[in-house]
Amino acid sequence: MSSRDPEPCDVPADEHTGSVRFYANGWKCNGHSPWAAQGLPEPKPGPGPPASTWTTPGLPSDSHPSAQAAVGHGPGPQPGIRLDPGQQDSRGKWIRIPTADYVCPACGDIESASGDQVARFAQHIETEHHTRCTANPQGAQIT
In a 13 Å sphere around the CA of 40, the CA atoms on its Cβ side amount to: 7
CA distance linking residue 84 with residue 122, whole number of Å? 11
- The four Cα atoms 27, 31, 34, 40 give a dihedral, to 10 degrees, of 160
- Residue 139: its pLDDT value, please? 56
Q: Domain-by-domain residue ranges, the chain?
A: 1-41, 76-132
**Does the structure show a pLDDT above 60 at 88?**
yes
- Residue 5: its pLDDT value, please? 56
Question: In terms of Cα–Cα distance, which of 75, 124, 76, 74 is closest to 103?
Answer: 76
- Residue 60: its pLDDT value, please? 47
Report the pLDDT averaged over residues 36-54.
75
| pLDDT range class, residue 143, cuts 50, 70, 90 | very low
**Does the structure show a pLDDT above 80 at 7?**
no
| pLDDT range class, residue 37, cuts 50, 70, 90 | confident
**Does the structure show a pLDDT above 50 at 138?**
yes
